[in-house]
Structure 1
Amino acid sequence: MTTLRTWIIFRWRQMLACALVVSALATTGSMVGWSVEVARMAEDPELPFNISTSQQRWLVSSVGIASVVSTLATGWLMEALGPCRLLSLLLLPQGLAWITMAVSYSLPWIFVGRIITGAIGIMLTTIIQPLVAELCQPDVRGMLSALPEMAISLGLLGAYVFARFLVWQAGTLLCGVLVFPSLCGVLFVPESPYWLIKKGRDKEATRSLMRLRAPEHDIEAEVAAIRDGIALQALEQGSFAQQFRSMGQSVNYRPVILLSVLVVLKEVGGAMFIFMYSAYFFLAAGVVWDPFTCTVLVGVTRLLFTFVSALVIDKVGRRPLLVFSSLTCGSAMFVIGAIVKIGSPSIAWIPLVAVLIFVASFGLGVGPVPWILVGEMLPTPVRSLAASICTCLFAFFTFLLSELMPQIIEVSGLDDAAFAFGAFQIFLALTTWLFVPETRGRTLEDLQTAFSGAALRPFRKSREGYVQAYGSTFSEAGPSQSKKA
């Protein structure tokens, strides 16, 4: 049985590479969490300008509308430059935009910095999740694919803590300064072997895999497997225009539609509203504790349970974890709606507990699993284009919810909004149970043609989660019984 110690010994190179890549997503979490600083700015008596309620909403939501535009170009840039190179090129302006927000006392420049950090932050999500899936082997892909959500949770918590204990300029400056260590780390990560082989650069792909795999690993077999998978899909050139043409094939558009639905349901289930308007949410729910202290509890809970998700996802599987967590999130939202409707001060603590249960379940499955599936299930022929589509939808609904939800809650009430959030979470669980296959342990090559048949859910009648990787160093029996020469 493969143990964590075996993973560390034989997979440490790809673990380190993924950790360096994923660290860049902390700035995406900071971008979401920085929304609580808007309330601090509105209370700052030394601020040389006034911020209206409408401007506060736009400071929160502008990241979404900027991201809708930027994600449309991300797929093309990934194909042209390579995901690792593009990642390193984006981090420098990201850090500078944060610093601009911190040192400027001009509202227009703060808006400019906010738009740039939002646009690049969502672009990083588009790049990193598929990249992590391409850098690592199937037996650790689930654990490593949960790292992006952990990095986002860590950045979110950092922004909440900064807002609780520091003035908004200092917290914003720290968000920018912390981008530069990630930039330095990404420079040492080899380029995606999949992208290199699609570009016909097999020798560079071999060198990339040699830096990512253990010395005992059969590099040539993995290169051949990747090359055969790409050739099977007629992607030797890998142009972005070909991806548009390939999207018309059912084997490609079916998983893209399914993943798009998962991403949308994940967002309309209430998570983004809680994370971007957490202080407002606790005030509207009647929680008597300091709302910024409650916000820090939200950040800690999400980080903790995202870490738990990384530990168990390769044992439990993606599909059952997502079904369980979405059902729990939906139940928590129903409880919040019921307590707010009752409106009794003696039970005002229950919404806080319910929110923490929601956030814990979100960190366990609803948060990381859809993005893990994006990295695993997107077909290679349309991977860059499809990642852009999924992230563009994510950005659009982030903007829509962050801009409109405060007004909707003022009209309909938090209780009805919570009931609607809960219903969407239940629908997410039902969609997952009916249509989402289990991807645990399957190679990316194995998943390329998963939706080519008539079955609504691939692998439904097969033994799931035990497919050996192409060029795998070890078989299912373990390293002691199958070590390659």
Structure 2
Amino acid sequence: MAEETAAAAQELMLDENVEPPAGSAPAKTWPQYLAALTVTLSSLSVGTVLSWTSPALMELQDANATSAPFHVTQDEGSWIGSLLAVGSMVGSLPAGRVAQVVGRRPALLGLALPLAASWVVILAAGGAATLYCARLLAGLAVGGISAVAPVYIAEIAHSSVRGTLGSFFQLMITIGVLYTYCVGAAAPYHALAGACLAPVVVFCVAFFFMPETPSHLLTKGRRRDAVRALLRLRGAQYDYRDEIALLQAEVDESSRRKASVRDVLRSPAARRGLLLSLGLMAIQQLSGINAVVFYTSTIFKEAGSSLSPSAAAIVVGVVMAAATLASSLLMDRLGRRALLLLSTAVMAVALAVLGLHIHLALQGIGWLPLVCVCVYIVVFSLGMGPVPWLMMGELFNPEAKSIASAASVFTNYLLVFVITKTFEPMSSALGTAVVYWIYAGLCAAGAVFVFFLVPETKGKTMQQIQEMLATGKTS
């Protein structure tokens, strides 16, 4: 293997007349951090889209709100919120394939167009039907960004910082949520939409100057450009030869295999990777995160909190952002498995206790639901929030990424739609306590899934991860 790597590196230099650097410096990390932060400005925009309904619908459904351009019913508001998930399911399906054909960078820049257009439509909207169109349009972009941005990060990151950088996707979503909650607490309808449009513009300008991923450039036969991109991401004095040769070997192996669904499923590593990615996305949503966050204000109110709904939302946003930031610092220290196991186990306990409090209608301990919700959100943000997105970018070979990432994102947003639309009917039929117990049981099942099936990918190269998947090992 060492001889093949050295030969590939030598062939690269001879074919392209690219000389190795005079010195042999370790890879710099700050260019990778810069690229990851820049690309995740798109996920910050995703966070604004996801959270816009919270302050906006409060205004649109308030008949006394003079700043609202029109008013909507509760049923219309429900569709305004849930149609985003429908658009995201549709947008996720072609996004991976488009990114494979045109590149990760052009695909992400292109997805900014429907995202920006959705905010323009919201600014000009004159009724609920127009908002339906805007939310579907935003969903197309959200689904595409969710499929492509984690892959971009995984392909530009060195294995030593891939966990930290991969967690930026969820971190920036939570920052986008907090940003929207803070602006929405003070700004009227049109000002809020304008504030949400601003991050899209900043992303387009900043990301325009970022490089394409070396892996994608190699798949297109642009090896000189791949070397240049790698040196931009690792530093001009980085000895790129071993890494570029390994990437070239992966690309050459991928080019010998077709990327149809049938061919992907024939590979043991791809099958297991797809199972793991779909499983983690399912656990993330079946944990009930959207239902808990959506009804946080109600829980605060029932617990006797004096916080206003907007203040309660800001508190939740701060907690989520802080916990996700902590996760980014721990990802390459504790590892993915540890954070996932901690997250699912503690979430199960928090939801079980919350359900018990509601079922028994306990008096005198109104602080207990607040503690349960805060603990639940903290541990979700540490593990089940960021890790599924990170591992979606880690688990697949280049030929499987477009299919597998599309399937993973589609599954995620399908379950977002299911959970948000079924929570109230289930609560009415079974009782809110029973619904929380169901979510607790699903979290416990998720912990079992992680313990027996999910491998530890911390510090592993893509090749090592594929070998683990092929053999069924978890460490």
- Residues 35 and 277 in structure 1, CA contact (< 8 A), matched pair in contact too: no
Aligned: 1:92 with 2:92: no
Shifted more, 354-363 versus 374-383: the winner is: 374-383
What corresponds to 1:145 in structure 2? 166
Aligned-pair CA distance for 1:414: 1.7
Q: Is the contact made by 2:343 and 2:384 (CA closer than 8 Å) also made in structure 1? A: yes
Q: CA deviation at 1:435?
A: 0.7
Q: How does 1:286-297 map to 2 (within 5 A)?
A: 289-297=307-315
How many angstroms apart in 2 are the aligned matches of 1:290 and 1:112?
31
Q: Which one of 217, 226, 235 corresponds to residue 255 of structure 2?
A: 235
In structure 2, C-alpha distance between the alignment counterparts of 1:444 and 1:128, rounded to whole Å:
17
| Partner residue in 1 for 2:284 | 266
Q: Which stretches in structure 2 are left out of the alignment for 5+ residues?
A: 1-24
Q: 1:54 corresponds to which residue?
A: 75
Aligned to 1:3: none
**Letter of the structure 2 residue corresponding to residue 65 of structure 1:** V
The aligned residue for residue 434 of structure 2 is 416
Q: How far does the alpha carbon of each residue in 1:220-255 deviate from its partner, in whole angstroms, 9 at most, with x for none?
A: 2211111112223x426x87x546523322221111
Distance 1:222-1:235 versus aligned 2 partners, 3 A rule? same
Change (3 A) 1:40 1:412: farther
Q: Judging changes above 3 Å, is the alpha-carbon distance between structure 1 residues 200 and 329 closer, same or farther for their aligned structure 2 residues?
A: same
For residues 322 and 180 of structure 1, do their structure 2 counterparts lie closer, same or farther at Cα, with a shift above 3 Å needed?
same
Residue in 2 that maps onto 1:40: 59
Q: 1:418 to 1:316 in 2, by over 3 A?
A: same
Cα 1:280–1:379 shift into 2, 3 Å = farther
The alpha carbon displacement at 1:206 in A equals 1.1
Question: Secondary structure of the equivalent of 2:470?
Answer: coil
Distance in 1 separating the partners of 2:425 and 2:297? 16
Superposed CA deviations along residues 12-36 of structure 1, whole A, max 9, x for unmatched, are: 1111111101111011111221221
Q: Hey, what does 1:207 align to over in structure 2?
A: 228
Q: Contact 1:60–1:403 (CA<8 Å) still a contact in 2?
A: no
1:427 aligns with 2:448: no
One-letter identity of the residue aligned with 2:62 = E
1:132-178 CA-to-partner distances (Å, cap 9, x unmatched) read: 01001011111111111110000111122223222233222211122
Q: Give the aligned partner of residue 212 of structure 2.
A: 191
Structure 1 partner of 2:326 = 308
CA drift of 1:104 comes to 2.2
Tell me, what secondary structure is at the counterpart of 1:439?
Answer: coil
C-alpha deviation, 1:450, in angstroms: 2.3
Distance in 1 (CA, whole Å) between partners of 2:26 and 2:363 is 51
5+ long unaligned stretches in structure 1: 1-6, 460-485
Deviates more, 1:148-157 or 1:343-352: 343-352
TM-score (norm 2): 0.89
Matched, 1:80 2:101: yes
Give the secondary-structure state (helix, strand or coil) at the position aligned to 2:456: coil
Q: Is the 8 A contact 2:91 2:142 kept in 1?
A: no
Q: Is the 8 A contact 1:269 1:421 kept in 2?
A: yes
- The one-letter amino acid of 1:42's match is Q
Shift of 1:185: 1.0
Question: How far is the alpha carbon of 1:39 from its aligned partner?
Answer: 2.7
Q: 2-side partners of 1:274 and 1:162: how far apart?
A: 22
For residue 256 of structure 1, what is the aligned residue in structure 2?
Answer: 274
User: 1:290 Cα deviation (Å)?
Assistant: 2.4
How far is 1:277 from its partner? Answer: 4.4
Number of residue pairs matched by the alignment = 448
1:338 matches 2:342: no
* Percent of aligned positions that are identical: 24
CA contact (8 A) 1:150 1:307 kept: yes
How many Å separate the matches in 2 of 1:202 and 1:416? Answer: 57
CA distance in 1, matches of 2:113, 2:322: 29
- Is the aligned partner of 1:365 residue 2:386? no
Counterpart residue identity of residue 375, structure 1: G
